[in-house]
């Protein structure tokens, strides 16, 4: 098992903020919009250096999505910022018609995704956003795993022409991807080669998958661990190649089991390589208040849950 | 008013009526009611570059928020040269670029955003207006909205934003015909004092009382243009008659989304003689 270490822990939203600040310096087409959550989205760096290219919309997310669509007419690249809940479900029809169906080059950047938002509780903890966004034709869906990868993803989507949903979170988590690692949209990252089981993880669950892999190694199970930062388009070749070797898969995501990464993987495998699969995800439920760690444990999203899922899927082979 | 504009009015109404009749669907009522407005806008008021590009830098832009009146939009774009007039015969047919509601997906020249799900166009128009300001492009952004459409809350987010941020290169026109699908707006959900509401939000409001008189429209829109650049977005309350130009379609919501039958078409076309050639 390849050893992953980290020297610091950071929030992925700060990776977004750092990426946006860099884009402010390097890409004059980039503009940013926010619906009264500048601090939470870490957008102040961009604003300080580019006040003319920032639009404070107020608490009016529907208007923000429409204005972002309009800004593309005139060759701007708008990055919208608010919580994942208000970036998707609240404004689904605006995204659907004015951005996705209209093919607009808008980057919907969504913080506080998933249950690790924590104490604010279920009203703010969206666990359905990946499903909603991946169902929109033409929408790219990205959920990076740590600070460095979120920064790299933020830079990469500016160079991609078309609508993108970029999902990141609030808690501080280990920074383990190299700061100079290239980010290729739609390309899986092989974290550890193994032979007994494939673990495909996205977002905050990638680190948990690495912890699970180390624990599994100690009990003699060799896990292949793949980081899927892009849920759509899905790197199906990487997944199929891995399960051809291991014969089983566990998908891991901070999202409802309905509509998330796991279902995308299941579809690919059902069509091309039927394979036993277990889903580490929330089980069609809303969240609740608590610390991120407590919630990850209660809702079965931590390394222990991944280990259990691996043991279960191995029994099914 | 010159002869070309005069000739376009009945011809455009013929286009609308024939389009919806052929497929027995679509929205003739407000299309007929906005005929003079579209002709004035596209043939006199807006500065337009030849051809079409999505960014529209250096030209005036128009956004149709109430996308269901696509027949008047399509006829206007075709007769302004954005695409062949003959293509109007494909309205709402399978594999057509002329979808039931306008979209960019099929690449129809002249359309910059999809509309149909109501209440979204003003936000998009504001975004395009902000883009023009960033690009130091002093051309204007026009938009059209149904009066019933103002029941959608997103409009009021946009109305608040535009005034609060001095989006003064935007002229948003409201098709004030007082009708919507289920009946009069006063019975479905009253709009109240629309002029007072826009003014209270900080807009400059102009009224065109004769919204089916092209001279009155030209005069009103020129006044609106003269008021741009002064720190306030401009609202034009355009009083139109739904179904204008076809006597039995006027002053009722009955033809909001209903096509005429063969006999009704014949009567309607007789009231709007062919001037520039049917498609």
Residue B1: the pLDDT is: 56
pTM over 0.80: yes
CB contact under 8 A, A31 and B126: no
What are the start-end ranges of the E strands in chain A? Answer: 9-11, 30-34, 54-56, 77-83, 107-111, 140-142, 164-167, 172-174, 189-192, 197-201, 223-227, 230-232, 249-256, 277-282
Say what the ipTM of the complex is.
0.97
Cα separations (Å) of B32 from A62, B90, B124, B219? 30, 19, 25, 20
The answer to whether the Cβ–Cβ distance between B123 and A93 falls below 8 Å is: no
- Within 8 A of B124 by CB-CB distance, chain A residues are 66-67, 69-70, 73, 98
Contacts of A93 in chain B (CB under 8 A): 117, 120
What does residue B145 show for φ and ψ, rounded to 5 degrees?
A: -135, 145
- Give the pair of three-digit tokens for residue A254: 């901070």
Report the distance separating Cα A296 and Cα A298, nearest Å: 6
Cβ–Cβ below 8 Å for B161 and A58 = yes
Closest chain A residue to B114 measured between Cα atoms?
A: A102
CA atoms within 13 A on the CB side of A96: 13
Distance (Å) from the C-alpha of residue B10 to the closest C-alpha of chain A?
32
Please list every residue in chain B whose beta carbon sits closer than 8 Å to the beta carbon of residue A66: 120-124, 126-127, 154, 158
Q: How do strand A140-142 and strand A230-232 relate by DSSP bridges?
A: antiparallel
B165 contact residues in A (CB cutoff 8 A): 55
List of chain B residues whose C-beta atoms are within 8 Å of the C-beta of residue A62: 119-120, 123, 153-154, 157
Q: List CB contacts (< 8 A) between A91 and chain B.
A: none
Q: Is B242 helix (H, G, I), strand (E, B) or coil?
A: coil
Task: Count Cβ atoms below 10 Å from residue A294 Cβ, excluding itself.
Answer: 14
Angle at A306 between CA A172 and CA A140, to 5 degrees: 65
Cα separation, B198 vs B221, whole angstroms: 17
* Nearest-angstrom CA–CA distance, A150 and A20: 10
Confidence band for B3, pLDDT divided at 50, 70 and 90: confident
pLDDT tens track for B25-77: 999 999 999 999 999 999 999 999 999 999 999 999 999 999 999 999 999 99
B146-189 pLDDT, tens per residue? Answer: 999 999 999 999 999 999 999 999 999 999 999 999 999 999 99
DSSP state of B85: G
Chain B residue at shortest CA distance from A97: B114
Q: How confident is the model at residue B205 (pLDDT cuts 50, 70, 90)?
A: very high
Inter-chain touch A66–B122, beta carbons under 8 Å = yes
Largest CA distance in chain B: 53
Give the best residue of B66, B123, B139 to mutate against chain A (max A CB count within 10 A).
B123
What is the rounded distance in angstroms from the CA atom of residue B260 to the CA atom of residue B241? Answer: 18
Helix/strand/coil percentages in chain A, nearest 5: 40, 20, 40
CA closest to B162 among chain A residues = A57
Position B16 scores a pLDDT of 98
- CB atoms A104 and B55 under 8 Å: no
User: CA nearest B139 in A: which residue?
Assistant: A74
Q: Taking CB atoms and an 8 Å cutoff, what residues of chain B touch A98?
A: 113-114, 120, 123-124
Q: Which of B124, B165, B170, B172 to mutate to test the interface with A (most CBs of A within 10 A)?
A: B124
CB contacts, 8 Å: A67 with chain B: 123-124, 126-127, 130, 158, 161
Name which of B134, B135, B161 is nearest A63 (Cβ-Cβ): B161
**Whole-number pLDDT of residue A100:** 98
Nearest CA in chain B to A69: B124
Q: Which residues of B sit within 8 Å Cβ distance of A?
A: 54-57, 61, 63, 103-105, 112-117, 119-132, 134-135, 137, 153-154, 157-158, 160-161, 164-165
| Number of separate helices (H) and strands (E) present in chain B | 10, 7
What's the DSSP call for residue B250?
Answer: T
Q: Could you read off the pLDDT tens digit of each residue along chain A, which spans 317 residues?
A: 999 999 999 999 999 999 999 999 999 999 999 999 999 999 999 999 999 999 999 999 999 999 999 999 999 999 999 999 999 999 999 999 999 999 999 999 999 999 999 999 999 999 999 999 999 999 999 999 999 999 999 999 999 999 999 999 999 999 999 999 999 999 999 999 999 999 999 999 999 999 999 999 999 999 999 999 999 999 999 999 999 999 999 999 999 999 999 999 999 999 999 999 999 999 999 999 999 999 999 999 999 999 999 999 999 99
Name the 3-class secondary structure at A77.
strand
- Tokens representing B116 are 């149909």
Cβ-nearest to A67 among B112, B126, B153: B126
CB A13 within 8 A of CB A173: no
Please identify which residue in the block is written with the tokens 């013929």.
Answer: B14
What is the distance in angstroms between the Cα of B97 and the nearest Cα belonging to chain A? 14
Q: Which residues contact A157 (CB under 8 A, 6 or more apart)?
A: A107, A140, A142, A164, A166, A185
Does A67 contact B104 at a Cβ distance shorter than 8 Å? no
Letter string b/e over residues B34-61, b meaning 16 or more CB atoms within 10 A of that residue's CB: bbbbbbbbbbbbbebeeebebbbbebbb
Residues in chain A: 317
CB A246, CB A275: distance < 8 Å:
no
Picking from A65, A67, A98, the nearest residue to B114 by CB comes out as A98
Q: Which residues of A are catalytic?
A: 61
What DSSP assignment string belongs to A85-150? HHHTGGGHHHIIIIIIITT---EEEEES-SGGG-TT-TTT--SSHHHHHHTSTT-EEE---SHHHH
Nearest residue to A68 via CA among A49, A81, A83, A86: A81
Angle formed at CA B206 by CA B203 and CA B210, multiple of 5 degrees: 150
d(C-alpha B207, C-alpha B239), whole Å: 8
Q: Which residues, including other chains, have CB under 8 Å from residue B62's CB and lie 6 or more apart?
A: B41, B42, B46, B141, B142, B143, B144
The stretch B251-269 carries a mean pLDDT of 96
CA closest to A58 among chain B residues: B161
Name residue, tokens 């988590």.
A173
Burial class (CB in 10 A: 0-12, 13-18, 19+), B226: exposed
CB B9 within 8 A of CB B39: yes
Cis peptide before B74 (omega within 30 of 0): no
Short-list B67, B143, B78, CA closest to B105: B67
Nearest CA distance, B118 vs chain A (angstrom): 10
Show the tokens assigned to A243. 């399960």
Identify the residue among A30, A63, A72, A96 best suited for mutation to test binding to B, counting B beta carbons within 10 A and taking the highest: A63
Q: pLDDT-based confidence at B2, cuts 50/70/90?
A: confident
Contact list, A74 vs chain B (CB under 8 Å): 55-57, 128, 131-132, 134-135, 137
């Amino acid at each position: 098992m390849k050893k992953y270490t980290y020297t610091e822990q950071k929030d992925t939203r700060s990776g977004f903020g750092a990426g946006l600040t860099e884009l402010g310096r390097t890409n004059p087409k980039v503009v940013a919009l926010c619906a009264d959550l500048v601090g939470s989205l870490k957008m102040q760096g961009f604003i300080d250096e580019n006040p003319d290219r920032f639009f404070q919309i107020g608490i009016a997310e529907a208007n923000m999505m429409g204005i972002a669509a309009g800004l593309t007419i005139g060759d701007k690249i708008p990055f919208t910022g608010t919580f994942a809940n208000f970036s998707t479900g609240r404004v689904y029809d605006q995204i659907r018609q004015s951005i996705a169906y209209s093919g607009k080059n808008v980057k919907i950047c969504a913080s506080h995704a998933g249950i690790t938002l924590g104490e604010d509780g279920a009203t703010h903890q969206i666990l359905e956003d990946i499903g909603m966004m991946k169902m929109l034709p033409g929408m790219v869906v990205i959920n990076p795993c740590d600070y460095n990868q979120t920064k790299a993803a933020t830079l990469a989507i500016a160079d991609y022409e078309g609508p993108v949903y970029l999902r990141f979170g609030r808690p501080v988590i280990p920074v383990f991807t190299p700061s100079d690692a290239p980010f290729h949209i739609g390309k899986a990252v092989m974290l550890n080669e193994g032979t007994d089981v494939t673990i495909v993880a996205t977002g905050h669950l990638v680190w948990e998958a690495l912890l699970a892999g180390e624990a599994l190694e100690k009990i003699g199970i060799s896990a292949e661990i793949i980081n899927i930062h892009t849920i759509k388009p899905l790197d199906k070749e990487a997944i199929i190649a891995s399960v051809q070797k291991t014969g089983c898969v566990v998908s891991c995501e901070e999202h409802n089991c309905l509509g998330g990464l796991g279902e995308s993987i299941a579809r690919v495998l059902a069509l091309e390589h039927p394979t036993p699969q277990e889903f580490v995800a929330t089980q069609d439920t809303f969240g609740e208040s608590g610390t991120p760690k407590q919630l990850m444990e209660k809702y079965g999203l931590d390394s222990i849950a991944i280990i259990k899922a691996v043991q279960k899927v191995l029994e099914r082979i | 008013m010159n002869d070309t504009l005069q000739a376009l009015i009945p011809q455009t109404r013929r286009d609308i009526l024939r389009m919806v009749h052929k497929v027995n669907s679509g929205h003739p009522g407000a299309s007929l009611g906005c005929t003079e407005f579209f002709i004035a806008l596209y043939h006199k008021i807006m500065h337009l570059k030849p051809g079409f590009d999505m960014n529209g830098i250096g030209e005036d832009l128009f956004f149709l928020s109430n996308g269901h009146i696509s027949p008047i939009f399509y006829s206007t774009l075709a007769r302004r040269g954005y695409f062949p007039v003959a293509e109007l015969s494909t309205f709402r047919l399978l594999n057509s670029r002329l979808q039931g509601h306008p979209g960019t997906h099929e690449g129809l020249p002249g359309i910059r955003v999809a509309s149909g799900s109501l209440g979204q166009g003003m936000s998009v128009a504001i975004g395009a207006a902000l883009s023009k300001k960033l690009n130091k492009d002093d051309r204007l952004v026009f938009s059209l909205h149904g009066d019933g459409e103002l029941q959608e809350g997103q409009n009021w987010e946009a109305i608040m934003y535009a005034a609060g941020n001095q989006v003064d290169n935007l002229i948003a026109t409201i098709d004030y015909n007082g009708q919507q699908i289920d009946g009069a707006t006063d019975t479905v959900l009253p709009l109240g004092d629309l002029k007072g509401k826009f003014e209270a939000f900080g807009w400059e409001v102009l009224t065109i009382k004769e919204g089916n008189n092209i001279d009155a429209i030209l005069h009103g829109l020129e006044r609106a243009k003269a008021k741009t650049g002064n720190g306030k977005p401009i609202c034009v309350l355009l009083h139109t008659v739904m179904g204008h130009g076809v006597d039995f379609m006027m002053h009722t919501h009955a033809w909001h989304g209903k096509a005429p039958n063969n006999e009704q078409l014949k009567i309607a076309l007789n009231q709007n003689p062919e001037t520039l050639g049917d498609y």
